[in-house]
Amino acid sequence: MIRVLQVGKYYPPAKGGMENHLFTLINELKSTICLEVLVANNEPSGVLETVDGIKVRRVPNLFEISSAPICPTLPYWMRKWHGDIFHIHLPNPFAEVSYLLARHKDKLIVAYHSDIVGRGKFFDLYRPLQERFLNQYIKLYEEIINAKN
């Protein structure tokens, strides 16, 4: 069975559009795919739990910058995970940094939920990071396509 790590900002009972999408997606796929969830906790402590049969790791969240959780252990958990596919939900700046730091060569799926708007200088700082992450995504995609040809 294919193993997929879903990486979001938060997971229910946390409220939000990305969180609702992640919950719905996981509940639709969990009977056919082995899924795990990696998200920020609402607190500065971590917790591993099972929610509706899905392993959910909530990593310590020290604080937020413009609604983006800052979770220093996220790169560690990404590096430690072994499976088939990373599915990262954006915008999620620290998840993008963590993926780049983890240097995974696994297949990557990106779900782009919305642009960052109304954040002023934060977006100016974030944009180069996002471009680097998305360029890495394109590079991995091209390698997969080239390997098939």
Q: What is the pLDDT of residue 65?
A: 80
Give all domains of the chain, ordered by start, each with its CATH number.
Answer: 3-148 (3.40.50.2000)
- Strand arrangement of the beta sheet that strand 34-40 belongs to: 47-51, 54-59, 34-40, 3-7, 85-90, 107-112
Q: What is the pLDDT of residue 46?
A: 96
Residue 44 has pLDDT above 70, yes or no: yes
48-63 pLDDT, tens digit per residue, is: 999 999 999 999 999 9
Calpha distance 63→80 (Å, rounded): 23
Q: What percentage of residues in the chain have a pLDDT greater than 90?
A: 49
Which tops the pLDDT comparison, 49 or 128?
Answer: 49
68-94 pLDDT, tens digit per residue, is: 899 999 999 999 999 999 999 988 888
CB atoms under 10 Å from CB of 127, counted, come to 11
Weakest mean pLDDT among 26-35, 68-77, 91-100 = 91-100
For the ranges 22-36, 89-103, 115-129, the one whose mean pLDDT is highest: 22-36
